[in-house]
Amino acid sequence: MARARITVFFMGLVLWCCLTKAEYMKYKDPKQAVHVRTRDLLNRMTLEEKIGQMVQIERSVASADVMNKYFIGSVLSGGGSAPSPQASPEAWINMINDFQKGSLATRMQIPMIYGIDAVHGNNNVYKATIFPHNIGLGATRDPKLVKKIGAATALESRATGIPYVFAPCIAVCRDPRWGRCYESYSEDPHLVDAMTEIVPGLQGDMPAKSSKGVPFVAGNKNVAACAKHYVGDGGTTKGINENNTVISWHDLLSIHMPGYYTSIIKGVSTVMVSYSSWNGVKMHANRDLVTGFLKNKLRFRGFVISDWEGIDRITYPPRANYTYSILEAIRSGIDMVMVPYNYSSFIDGLTFLVKNNFIPMSRIDDAVKRILRVKFAMGLFENPLADNSLVDQLGSQEHRELAREAVRRSLVLLKNGHYADQPLLPLPKKTSKILVAGSHADNLGYQCGGWTIEWQGFSGNDLTNGTTVLTAIKNTVDSSTNVVYEENPDPKFVKSNNFSCAIVVVGEHPYVETKGDSMNLTIPEPGPTTIRNVCGALKCVVILMSGRPVVIEPYINSMDALVAAWLPGSEGQGVADVLFGDYGFSGKLPRTWFKTVDQLPMNVGDPHYDPLFPFGFGLTTEPTKAY
């Protein structure tokens, strides 16, 4: 009996020792270095768990059960995808935490990472501050301002529980016919490179002695960033989206690559691969550029993510041979795949390729190591669940004031009076009667552009909060000034109302990606008709809202003043601030303004350079009121 008790005692002791040893896992210890934690966790994972980490799915097909069953590494909101229309920050947080709880219930308790296209503010979310699109920020020429916008965007993303944003777009748009041109800061690689200061805005400033190329996120008020779209997306033939960029190696490096060098030095966490091709080779299958150059030459240590169903497009038609697409994408060096719906077929396909030795285990381990490195670096293991502590940051007054500042500094004054000594702007606040006209004067959706609440943007004033230009004008003028709004007035109305001047606000309708590709770059009707009807009869200033330079030469002589307002976002008050002289015009063209589309592509430095307005052009005015 005594011997039996001793035996039971020793067995219990052994079991206790085993349990004690099992309880200490280096990857769960925040005091351990990231590389130690990563290696420890990687060594404990099964193939199934590793492949799950490489998958990013759309929120509409995600659930706690799906996260748990497939070990899913990431979830995203596609453009316009939200928990519900006009969802509150709390609704976003609850949804994301529900997914996260499924991940935390897995064997290794690896948290998922939630991503969203916060490309000009947290733009999918109701009541978020919508900043000017990148082309407008390029006109400010101010990296410090862009860094502040990055920090504000991080806070508004974290306000909804989101720790990862697919921004910044550091494309160098070389042809305005491209439907994503407004997502590019400039045609000039030096200006785009300078604007990568948004990366430390989003992620936080790297400590001085940090290793270059290693992902860095400062804490729970910052987000992991994503430099996109690697590489050459802005240089496609005729600006056709997802097309082929035909360019030499030297020009690829000098024009399209500088922003990536700098973003990596600044600790960017992820890089997204472009749909486009370089000299006929799809970037999603370009091992030389993804693994050879980005990972090995530039020593990028974060993870590489595909674009939305990007690997499907390796073949034509898309998904014609999905197994081949998986093989080529993973071998090229893509670490996380934005599936986003057919995740089970991707998992099955990749598992088959690994088990049958088409893809070596070392490639899977490289991908998962990079994904885990980012998750550890951003503190996701210590703080996997979001809380409500930052909900008041969404659409905060401070952020709206920052966006308003960005609007007024992004405006480029292209014409001011028919003669230099007779400027029209700034307009007087006190006058008898002002006509405000045009499709974009009282349309919040139009002034925000694409990637706003819905993927392709929207029309009207009902889907989020903000200030239209019409409201801003009414807020700014003297109480005695009569502001009359007529969206598309006929000549008789214009001539018979004794207006002192007119403000015409017209431009492009919202678009995203391929739907924005345009071979003619004309302003849609009734914009041209409104310009003719109003500017033919009155002193007028035209406020042009567009994602790029458009055809204006036929109308410019009839205008007394012309302002390129780009896509200013939710804070239209910034337009009125400058229009009526509270602040001066200071913006400079981030792009060459062509005379005719026949000149395209045409960029500063080209031998055939003959612009209507050159790169860097912008008239200035002095404020009439000191601040």
User: What are the catalytic residues?
Assistant: 307, 513
Q: Are the C-beta atoms of residues 374 and 100 closer than 8 Å to each other?
A: no
Query: Which has the closest alpha carbon to 51: 349, 375, 357, 374?
Result: 349
What is the Cα–Cα distance from 534 to 557, expressed in whole angstroms?
13
Sequence-distant (≥ 6) Cβ neighbours of residue 554 within 8 angstroms: 528
What is the Cα–Cα distance from 180 to 229, expressed in whole angstroms?
11
Within a 13 Å sphere around the CA of 398, how many CA atoms are in the beta-carbon half? Answer: 10
Q: Are the C-beta atoms of residues 247 and 255 closer than 8 Å to each other?
A: yes
Q: How many helices and strands (H and E) does the chain possess? A: 22, 17
Bridge partners, 416 (sequence order): 561
Q: Which two tokens stand for residue 113?
A: 């990472």
Sequence-distant (≥ 6) Cβ neighbours of residue 421 within 8 angstroms: none
Q: Are the C-beta atoms of residues 548 and 521 closer than 8 Å to each other?
A: yes
Q: Any idea which residue has 């709004």 for tokens?
A: 485
Distances 262 to 1, 190, 195, 259, 450 between C-alpha atoms, Å: 74, 11, 10, 5, 27
Q: Is the peptide bond before 304 cis (omega within 30 degrees of 0)?
A: no
Query: Which has the closest alpha carbon to 218: 146, 163, 159?
Result: 163
What is the Cα–Cα distance from 484 to 600, expressed in whole angstroms?
39
